[in-house]
Amino acid sequence: MSDLTYVTPEMESAQGQWSEPRFAPPITATDIRRWAMATHYPEKPPRVYWDEEYAQTTRWGGIIAPPDFNPFAWPLERPAALAANLAGARPDGKPLTGMNGGQTDTYGAPMRPGDVISARQRLVDWNEREGRLGHTLYVRNEIEWRNQNDEVVKTRMSIGIRY
């Protein structure tokens, strides 16, 4: 194994530390309805996503958002990926190339009209190895969404690949 590393002191000190939360605007029934229409097109979305009268008869007692609903989908400013700002550079001084290594989402409480969702993230861990693309850094991040009642709405584990 070479002495080459893309792990920086900033990464080491950030490991396991949650970021300050950011907040999405309050969710509206219209946001949910439009998301459901767009993601189920050309089919009609399930009624629990748009029909209040029907939704009140379900175990949810009202309209809920599809699990993949994203209240952060259209931000005015996008936060930078956590590891992208912390990883080192190649020996030639050029920035690292990055790609998405995949993600796994786990869903908790459903999102509803009126909910205000907060998101925080942390650098979980990493490993480095030599591969087809040369020296490669694999970074695992966790993003957690909570509603205003502090209920977990979604957890995402993602892998970023930098080389």
What pLDDT score does 81 carry?
Answer: 57
pLDDT at 41 over 90: yes
Domains and CATH numbers, the chain: 1-25+82-163 (3.10.129.10), 28-70 (no CATH)
Beta bridge partners of 23: 118
pLDDT in tens, 95-111: 888 899 999 999 999 99
pLDDT of residue 94: 83
Rounded to the nearest integer, the mean pLDDT of the chain is: 92
pTM value is 0.85
Q: What is the DSSP string of 58-114?
A: STTSS----TT--TTSS-SSPPPPTGGGT----TTSPPPPEEEEEEEEEE-SPP-TT
Q: What is the share, in percent, of the chain residues with pLDDT greater than 90? A: 77
- Give me the percent of the chain exceeding a pLDDT of 70: 92
- The candidate with the shortest Cα–Cα distance to 121, out of 92, 67, 84, 74, is 84
Read off the pLDDT of residues 69-103 as tens digits, 9 standing for 90 and up.
999 987 677 666 555 566 777 878 888 888 999 99
The two three-digit tokens of residue 121, written as one number: 């993230």
Cβ neighbours for 125, distance < 8 A, ≥ 6 positions apart: 15, 139, 140
Q: Is 94 exposed, middle or buried (0-12, 13-18, 19+ CB in 10 A)?
A: exposed
* Look-up of token digits 């970074």: 139
pLDDT computed for residue 156 by the predictor? 97
Look up residue 56 and give its two tokens. 């009140």
